[in-house]
Amino acid sequence: MEKLRMVHLDFIAGMPRMEYLGSVVERLHKCGANSLLIEYEDKFPFQKHTQIVHEDAFSREELASFLHHVDSLGIKTVPLFQCLGHASYVLKHDAYKELREERASDWQYCPLHGDTFGFLNDCLEEIVEFHPNSEYVHIGCDETWNLCKCQDCQKYSPAVSYAEWVNRIHREIKKRWNKKTIIWGDMMVPCTCDHPTYPQIADILDKDIIIAYWDYWNSRLFPFLDFYKEKGFRVICSSLAAHPFRHSFQSQIQNITGFIEASLKYDNVIGNLVTCWGDIAPLWETVMFEFGVGLQKMVHNEKPLSELERDALNAICRYPRKELIEAFYMLSLPGKGDAPWKLYLARKAGSLFDNLNVTGDPAIRIIHFFTRIMEYKAEIINNECQHALPGEANDKRLNKIKDEIMSQGNELLGCFLRGNTLGSDEYFGKYLQ
Ligand SMILES: [Zn+2]
């Protein structure tokens, strides 16, 4: 069976324009993708539970047309619908507060609440209807750190509560739609953070559940490949394309290519996935390069990295120059809210632009100019932060400058990278004079 060569399209943080989305999947296809993991969150056009639908969500027509396009390219889809944690987009609404595991937290469902299973089934039914040809359904279930907090759930151990819940949904998916279930595997392996995890889960889970093993930091050793194999699971190896605390392509590319390489030694690995999380990611367009390198590695493991990068750039990137894309990547990384960080990125991006011949392309010239403005402003904020006196007025002033940097950056980069012709002439005009 052909292995999955998959990337993650995550709509948590926002919706791209439909024509842009179309070009994204065409380029991913050109680079070797044979499947997409699609995480809708509140951007799916639910009909039964309309309260959770975001105003920017796909319309039913848009989604049908997008999925038809994907299908016509021969790309399979795997919908991702969170069935335990990561549920804030549902549980923040008053109408669904009842389903919370903890009164004070909108993070996680209570699996024993009488309405949780029915609610999730309603949603799954609508999602599966849109994905009739999908072989798999990914039900998330990662980072479910609020297990057994309510009175009813406290009668069980976290491992039993988790595993039996996942089994129940998995069996329903199998029975109703004859599809295979995928979950993230982190609740059964030791975590690098302080949260407890439960290896016993692996012994209770049905063995035909597929484990998406995510590891976003390592580049050579992926310690739980052996664990999952010994426990009898099939695995999808999941790396990360962009991380807000890492400010160069290099570290993520090592994670992506290293995981693919390591996976080859395991016959229970059914595919590789490169993820990118909408809430912590820079602009999609800049992440395309890393998606591309990952996909090329999945197709041509034998090629040296320089060739993979070259081929990815040519196949996938609108602006086939790595320095340029990396500079955009840094400029569009979500801020951690502190000036030194922003200043560092603006300087680094600026120095990458210095190495390019920017005079030939007006758009790049503007971005270069803009980078310098960002750097200048970030320097001011940095200075102010170091010598700031406490006080609301001062905070307000600093935040205003910060917001200005962020909004101008997003707008300009958005116009440029998404090829938004509506905005570009008018907007660039201000900077060209
Ligand atoms: Zn509960």
- The two counts, helices (H) then strands (E), for the chain are 15, 10
Residues whose Cβ atom is located within 5 A of ion ligand 1: 101, 110, 112, 150, 153
13: alpha, beta or left? (left if phi > 0; alpha if psi -120 to 50): alpha
Q: How far is 128 from 282, CA to CA, in rounded Å?
A: 29
Alpha helices in 178-271 (DSSP H): 201-204, 224-231, 249-263
Compute the distance from residue 37 Cα to the ligand 1 centre, in Å: 29
pLDDT at 419: 47
pLDDT at 374: 76
Compute the distance from residue 209 Cα to the ligand 1 centre, in Å: 23
Q: How far is 408 from 159, CA to CA, in rounded Å?
A: 47
Compute the distance from residue 161 Cα to the ligand 1 centre, in Å: 9
315 phi, psi to nearest 5 deg: -80, -30
282 phi, psi to nearest 5 deg: -80, -170
Compute the distance from residue 154 Cα to the ligand 1 centre, in Å: 7
pLDDT at 112 over 60: yes
pLDDT at 428 over 50: no
* pLDDT over 90, % of the chain: 61
CATH topology for 4-322?
TIM Barrel (3.20.20)
Q: Which residues contact 418 (CB under 8 A, 6 or more apart)?
A: 16, 17, 20, 285
Q: Which amino acid is at 399?
A: N
Predicted model pTM: 0.86
List Cβ<8 Å contacts ≥24 apart for 314-322. 315/27, 315/30, 315/31, 316/27, 316/28, 316/30, 316/31, 316/288, 316/289, 316/291, 316/292, 317/27, 317/285, 317/288, 317/289, 317/292, 318/285, 318/417, 318/419, 321/356, 322/249, 322/289
Compute the distance from residue 116 Cα to the ligand 1 centre, in Å: 10
Compute the distance from residue 152 Cα to the ligand 1 centre, in Å: 5
Q: Which amino acid is at 386?
A: Q
Compute the distance from residue 150 Cα to the ligand 1 centre, in Å: 4
Cβ count near 87 (within 10 Å):
25
**CA-wise closest residue to 26 among 64, 74, 59:** 74
Compute the distance from residue 101 Cα to the ligand 1 centre, in Å: 5
pLDDT at 113: 98
Q: How far is 109 from 120, CA to CA, in rounded Å?
A: 10
Compute the distance from residue 156 Cα to the ligand 1 centre, in Å: 10
* pLDDT tens-digit series, residues 206-241: 999 999 999 998 899 999 999 999 999 999 999 999
Compute the distance from residue 113 Cα to the ligand 1 centre, in Å: 6
Compute the distance from residue 82 Cα to the ligand 1 centre, in Å: 17
pLDDT at 293: 96
Q: What is the mean pLDDT of the chain?
A: 87
* pLDDT tens-digit series, residues 338-394: 667 777 777 888 887 777 766 666 667 777 777 777 777 777 777 766 555 555 666
